[in-house]
Amino acid sequence: MVAALFTLTVTLRDYLATPFSNDPDVIKVVAHIAIPVASGFSLWILATVCMSALEAMSRMRAILILALVCSYAITLPVGWALALPADWGVAGLMTGAAIGDAIKFMVGLILIWKGQGWQAMSEHAVHMSDLAALYLDDANDALSIDSDFEDDGENTKLLNEILGERVPINSTSSSPRHAPSSYGSFSSNDS
């Protein structure tokens, strides 16, 4: 789909502005920046898919570092250098964005394939889902306790107490607010 949109944009670049303007200068400028814009957005889409996969893997630190480095250390300086000193204008800005997103995409792919094992990640995801379900069950119980009258602040206080609890991963407690001990330990490796 990304390749199809890129190809369509590049193929029709001389006609993209015609629905909006008959001015030959506008048509020429749009045709000139069509390739960097199509490249930039195509690579942005691919980088976003990688970042979503990393988010599903609970690799938030990696996403944050990639976003900061690629945006502030690569995209902005390269885009500025190409737009102003190199006199590429908007095409330079979009080329800088494309370069930053290309690096984000490539590093994201490496982190996905060289990261944690898929089995460990799926077990961790099931564990986190079970914890969320336990929290929601407790929250629903707290809300239904006093559902016959208006909240005088006690329901809110009780809900905050329940949702504010920390659940240990290796809990052996039989309390319904603790995760079953069968999950064992899981250590996230985000470096």
Span 160-170, pLDDT tens digits: 666 665 444 44
Q: Is 98 exposed, middle or buried (0-12, 13-18, 19+ CB in 10 A)?
A: buried
Q: What is the pLDDT of residues 14-37, one digit of tens each?
A: 999 999 999 999 999 999 999 999
| pLDDT beyond 70 at 174 | no
The model's pTM: 0.62
| pLDDT beyond 80 at 150 | no
Quote the CA–CA distance of 5 and 67 in Å, as a whole number.
25
